[in-house]
Amino acid sequence: MLVFFEFIGVTTTPNESIINNQERDNMAKEKRSNKWAFLLYQDSSPENYLDILEELHIPFVLSPWHDKDINKETGEFKKSHKHGALFFDSLKSYSQVSELLTEKLNTPAHVEPVMSPKGMYDYFIHAENPDKSLYSIEDIESGCGFELEKFLIEQNSNLYLKTVIDIITDNNFTEFEDLVHFARYNDTLLLGLIIERTYFFTKFLDSRRYNPQNSKKAPSEDTLVSNSDRDAQKT
């Protein structure tokens, strides 16, 4: 009996279908990417997993330990685990990454290409799923040159934009220099966003400076540290 196999649009026998399924699985496993996601279980991973990852010299990021996830079917806690990702400087195959992680960290063999950094971040802390236990971004781990601060800003750009706008209005800033100094000495995480969005914040500050409805009061001395004070702090 013939079976119509829609995947490749040809007629095949059942045995041929099985072979084609295996071929597709092999093709999927040999897909190449420079960003790969993996799972790390706490009860089977080495205690010095961070040291091992650092020795690989591959930029990495790890979620907090997911130790509050509930299995909806049983009502029991799931095994404590981390979601992780490796960021290679060249394309790697499924087999290469799987073998590396199972050998070095005793992870499950299955790995997946990272299709969406935003989706990965949301899954790290369950940011978009209020039905699941939430985890803190403070517990995200990274190393080997992975730019965590930049990554967090990129995934939360709207939140950080609002934060900087609030800083400008709360402190009555009208000069870009004042904003940069504030971020440098109070929240370096915001400094990168300010630099990337220089045009937007410059125009926003200009509009405040020339808006007659805004107070003419200068930023308070408590908010800004003078250049001489900064120099004194460094010495």
List Cβ neighbours of 113 (8 Å cut-off, separation of 6 or more).
31, 33, 35, 36, 37
Q: For all residues of the chain together, what is the average pLDDT? A: 79
In terms of average pLDDT, the best of 124-128, 152-156, 196-200 is 196-200
Q: Sorting pLDDT into bands at 50, 70 and 90, what band is 227?
A: very low
Cα distances (angstroms) measured from residue 107 to each of 83, 86, 104: 11, 13, 8
Q: Is the pLDDT of residue 13 over 70?
A: no
What percent of the chain clears pLDDT 90, i.e. is strictly above it? 38
In this prediction, residue 48 carries a pLDDT of 96
- Longest Cα pair distance anywhere in the chain, in angstroms? 88
Window from 92-96, 114-118, 175-179 with minimum mean pLDDT: 114-118
Task: Give me the CATH code for the 32-146 domain, please.
Answer: 3.40.1310.30
Phi, psi (5° rounding) for residue 210? Answer: -100, 5
Q: Sorting pLDDT into bands at 50, 70 and 90, what band is 125?
A: confident
* Spatial separation of the C-alpha atoms in residues 135 and 66, rounded to whole Å: 8
Q: Is the pLDDT of residue 4 over 50?
A: no
pLDDT, tens digit, 9 for 90 and up, residues 57-103:
999 999 999 988 888 888 888 899 999 999 999 999 999 999 999 99
* Spatial separation of the C-alpha atoms in residues 88 and 57, rounded to whole Å: 9
In this prediction, residue 197 carries a pLDDT of 84
In this prediction, residue 96 carries a pLDDT of 94
